[in-house]
Structure 1
Amino acid sequence: MDDPRELNLTLDLCLRIGEVLLSSGAGAADVTATMLSVASHLGLRHAEVDVTFTSLSMSYQATPEDAAVMMVRNVKHRDIDYADLTQVDHLVRELLADELDLYLARTRMATILSTGHPWPRWSVTLAWGVMCASVAVFLGGDWLVALIASAAAISIDRFQLVMARRRLPTFYLQVAGGAVATMWAVGLAATPIEADLSLVVTANIVMLLAGIGFMGAIQDALTGFYVTSGARVIEALLATAGIIAGVSAGLSVGEVLGINLGQLVPGQSYGNHLAVAVVGAAVSAAAFAFACFAPRRSLLPIALTAGSATLLHALVSDTGFGRTWAAAVGAFTIGVVAYGVAGRFRVPPLVVAVSSIVPLLPGLSIYRGLSLLAAAGSNTSQGIVAMMTAASVAVALASGVILGEYLAQPLKRETRRLESRLSGPRLVGPFRASRRETRADRVT
């Protein structure tokens, strides 16, 4: 590319695309491959991309005699917006198919970034309430427990929104969320209301866990982006530690007041009926997708995927394999199904996979571990085992989804060539190189 102006515009477009992908939870491998595909299609052969957790950099040097041109873009906002992610994914595909040129692509990108969310914020708050009510039903709660869990989720979301506007770190938002959920249960336990309020806390733990990008951290580790993976793991651990701190504080207050919320057991997760639990899991996944602004056309397939994975999770768990292997099988199913569903309904597989995995998040193990640790006596070892189980379930979920994506994506004749560009399973971005890239490779 000889025109310096077009060179700068191309680098800027690639960085803006990468920023949206990275902030939405895409793996560093997906971000790198997408940026390189766009750059190569627009004439920047052999560009260099460096992805870290907080910044993106891209450089290009036409010949060894020319000075390299480099641009850097910081990733400041990490609000999950699957509507923007889907639109950027479509933009990339249309650009690689020669339906857009550089200038039209930049105009489309500016429109995507400047347009607000597709539905009002209050509807997102209601979606969080529906999600927690559905998780409570999935765990075996009755209508009263579901109603209380929904009210607690709505209050948590509004409280966290106020704190976020004051730019408090995510850790403190998670602490506040865990404390609010537990204090709801403690306060209601002091009344004559008869309900298993421990399910309220567990449902809200799942809500707080749903926004943590642990799957992206595992994907980065598996695909060789260890620095980015380490940063994402630290972020996930801090967010989880915030939940633990908030719930632990609430349980301690209840202990001081002489109020015991009870302890959950793993087998209680399908307490109502397996069919009811599957429906609850399906609705919770769709509600989470709605809260993250996923396109409406994807809500039903996400619900069906989550319900199927939950049913398989229950069947494997009943055979005696344990929660970790059951979670791995359910996540593997999600990874396999997400690829086909995403192509059929024109959304990135990341949207389907992350949303469908929500009902399987280890909220039950975290609450059980904290309640055992908060109780005096010989329950400390059991509490530690429960917390370790939660960690193993989280790893099993992330690695299971990624393995499913590995096996689901079709192998073509050009597999060896594509592997040099598509490092790892693709959860977002183009799945194959453009024709222009392929012809250029043949020439070289």
Structure 2
Amino acid sequence: MAERPSETNEIYRTMDLALRIGELLLSSGAGAADVAAQMDNVAQACGLRGTSTDVTFTELAMSHQARVDEPALIQLRQVRYRQVDFGHLTEVDRLVRDLAAERVTRDEASIRLKKIVSSGHSRPRWSVTLGQGLVGAGVGMVLGGDWVVIGIALVGAVGVDLIQRRMSSRRWPVFYQQVAGGLFATLLAAGVAKTGLDVAPSRVITASIVLLLAGVSFLGAVQDALTGFPLTSGARILEAVIATAGAIAGVSGGLTLARVLNIGLGTLDPGAVRFAELPMLTLGGALTAAAYAFASYVPYRAILPIAFIGALAMTVYYLAAHHRVGTNWASGVAAVVIGLVSWVISGRARVPALVVVTTAIVPLLPGLSIYRGLALFGAGNSNGLLALANAAAILIALSSGVLLGQYIAQPLKREARRLESRLSGPRLVGPLSVRTGRRRRRKRPS
């Protein structure tokens, strides 16, 4: 006996809500495992059992088959628009939790979701650009620059953001936006060097290109690889590689142009990364993490805790590096600390753990290693390949370290211990499960 049209419509509405929530989570950098889990949570909270979800990098699918002798109902949704807004992500996370706890109905959740998506950003665009500039200033502090370097780094980061904003409004592909940003940062450093100021151009370039590194994409890619979504992981890695390649091409082009114009940008020793001393390093890490959080529309209540985690991570990195454990292991240890502390603080700040992790890890991104590799390549030194390989190793250490911290922290929660056998990985977004024992059955229409 076929399902009644009204019941079919109810199923389609539930799947549509789950798909729209999944689209926003995926476009904000959430891992495929998180997206699939929260889509299933939404369906169960709305009384729909037996759904099947499929998550790829550009498409979400959900199906439901009520009986074996009937065809399955299927809905698809394309994911093309990607812009990180952690304010929207936080609101959707709260929406899913309210739906799972039966504080809102499905129709009320749909209305709230539409308001979230259509409300626009919570901060004026000029303030976001200023926040990006403060990220550059914070990285300049991390690298031990003086106040002149910090000021130039701020100007460079603001310029990169303005260029990318203008190109994005004209629908330029991300690769060319990255090229333009890297080229601007390098030419700015070349211009400063030409003036004769006693400024290390490498610090200026590094502080600017940190904004161009695909930290969010790489974190999501490693999570997908570790939680059983290899296709989505491969697509995210490809996106991160292309974006980083654009930044590399821009910086390389700027170094070449500076050499043609006979502007010396100095050489770099392919040895250890030269960070500032502990007090300045800690302060720079806090400023970088907090400024990036502000520029990503993180709620104000979470910015100070994120600054604390950024400072803590840089302190752990400094102590580990000075015990000669190596840059990669020091980065990995600091990332594990970020994962552990973020799990606790995210709950108190009422934001998803993904928001805290992604923003707090920015001070550790290997901008100096990438610049060193490009500078050595430009000088005809084959050690540039080793420097770029070291940067890739640092990115992998950061991503896997954060996830390891989440794996260690999650079982400490009582709810996670009860559901340990059912979890495929740490949840960086949304609730761990939906209560189904007290769920009221949806009445069938007469």
Q: Is the 8 A contact 1:279 1:307 kept in 2?
A: yes
1:195 aligned residue (196, 199, 203): 199
For residues 268 and 321 of structure 2, what CA distance do their matches in structure 1 show? 16
- State yes or no: 1:270 paired with 2:275: yes
- Name the residue aligned to 2:430: 429
Residues 33 and 422 in structure 1, CA contact (< 8 A), matched pair in contact too: no
2:62 to 51, 58, 61: 58
Amino acid at match of 2:274: S
**Structure-1 residue corresponding to 2:71:** 67
How far, CA to CA, are the matches of 1:307 and 1:36 in structure 2?
Answer: 37
- Scaled by the length of structure 1, the TM-score of the pair is 0.94
Bigger mean CA deviation after superposition, 8-17 or 421-430:
421-430
Alignment correspondent of 2:406: 405
Task: Return 182-191 or 207-216, whichever deviates more.
Answer: 207-216
Q: Which residue of 2 aligns with 1:309?
A: 313
Q: Cα 1:414–1:426, aligned 2, differ >3 Å: closer, same or farther?
A: closer
Say whether the 8 Å CA contact 2:215–2:365 is kept in structure 1.
Answer: no
1:277-325 alpha-carbon deviations (Å, 9 max, x no partner)? 1101111111001111011111000010011011000110111111000
Give the whole-Å Cα distance in 2 for the aligned partners of 1:304 and 1:128.
Answer: 19
For residues 57 and 74 of structure 1, the distance between their equivalents in structure 2, rounded to whole angstroms, comes to 9
Look up the match of 2:327: 323
- State the AA in 2 paired with 1:204: S
Greater displacement, 189-198 / 261-270: 261-270
C-alpha distance in 2 between matches for 1:391 and 1:32:
28
CA contact (8 A) 1:342 1:349 kept: yes
Q: Which residue does 2:221 correspond to in 1?
A: 217
Residue 91 (structure 2) aligns with: 87
Contact kept? 1:137, 1:146, Cα under 8 Å: yes
Corresponding residue for 1:292?
Answer: 296
For residues 371 and 117 of structure 2, the distance between their equivalents in structure 1, rounded to whole angstroms, comes to 38
Could you say which residue in structure 1 is the equivalent of 2:82?
78
State the number of aligned residues: 436
Tell me, in whole angstroms, the C-alpha distance in 1 between the residues paired with 2:258 and 2:435: 60
The answer (yes or no) to whether the contact 1:294–1:351 under 8 Å persists in 2 is yes
After superposition, the C-alpha distances for 1:395-435 in whole angstroms (9 at most, x for unaligned) are 00000000000010125788687356532111111123324
Unaligned runs of 5+ in 2: 442-446
Aligned residue among 156, 160, 168 for 2:160: 156
Does the Cα contact within 8 Å between 2:273 and 2:368 map onto a contact in 1?
A: no
Partner residue of 1:250 out of 231, 251, 254: 254
User: Are the equivalent residues in 1 in contact too, given 2:216–2:358 (CA < 8 A)?
Assistant: no
Deviation track 1:57-77 (CA, whole Å, cap 9, x = no partner) reads: 101111112321111111111
Mapped to 2, the partners of 1:239 and 1:274 lie a distance apart of 32
Please tell me whether the aligned partners of residues 41 and 433 of structure 2 are also in contact (alpha carbons under 8 angstroms): no
Deviates most, 261-270 or 69-78: 261-270
Mapped to 2, the partners of 1:305 and 1:414 lie a distance apart of 25
Question: Within the alignment, does 1:10 sit opposite 2:11 as a pair?
Answer: no
User: Does structure 2 retain, via aligned residues, the 8 Å contact 1:210–1:358?
Assistant: no
The equivalent of 2:108 in structure 1 is 104
| 3-state SS of paired residue (1:231) | helix
How far, CA to CA, are the matches of 2:21 and 2:164 in structure 1?
A: 28
Give CA deviations for 1:96-136 in whole Å, capped at 9, x if unaligned: 10100111111111111110111100100000001101100
Whether the 8 Å contact between 1:41 and 1:436 is mirrored in structure 2 is: no
Structure 2 counterpart of 1:187, one-letter code: G
Q: CA deviation at 1:344?
A: 0.6
CA 1:373–1:59 in structure 2 vs 1: closer, same or farther (change >3 Å)? same
- 1:324, 1:392 within 8 Å by CA — same for their partners in 2? yes
* Alpha carbons 1:30, 1:422 under 8 Å: kept: no
Q: Partner of 1:270: helix, strand, or coil?
A: coil
> Whole-Å Cα distance in 1 between the matches of residues 242 and 100 of structure 2?
39
Instruction: Return closer, same or farther for 1:187/1:109 CA change in 2, 3 Å cut-off.
Output: same
1:343 CA drift (Å): 0.5
Partner AA of 1:176 in structure 2: A
Q: Distance in 1 between matches of 2:214 and 2:313?
A: 17
C-alpha contact 2:410 2:416 (8 A) present in aligned 1: no
CA distance in 2, matches of 1:262, 1:54: 43
Deviation at 1:213, TM superposition (A): 1.0
Structure 1 Cα separation of the partners of residues 215 and 272 of structure 2: 25
2:32 is aligned with 1:32: no
Is the contact made by 1:40 and 1:437 (CA closer than 8 Å) also made in structure 2?
no
CA distance in 2, matches of 1:46, 1:337: 35
Q: Structure 1 residues 58 and 228 mapped into 2: Cα distance closer, same or farther (>3 Å)?
A: same
Amino acid corresponding to residue 275 of structure 2 in structure 1: Y
Shift of 1:43: 1.6
Structure 1 runs not aligned, ≥5 long: none
| Candidates 47, 53, 60, aligned match of 1:49 | 53
Residue of structure 1 equivalent to 2:376: 372
TM-score by length of structure 2 reads 0.94
Deviation track 1:41-97 (CA, whole Å, cap 9, x = no partner) reads 212111010100001010111111232111111111110000010000000000010
Q: Is the 8 A contact 2:215 2:358 kept in 1?
A: no
CA distance in 1, matches of 2:325, 2:268: 19
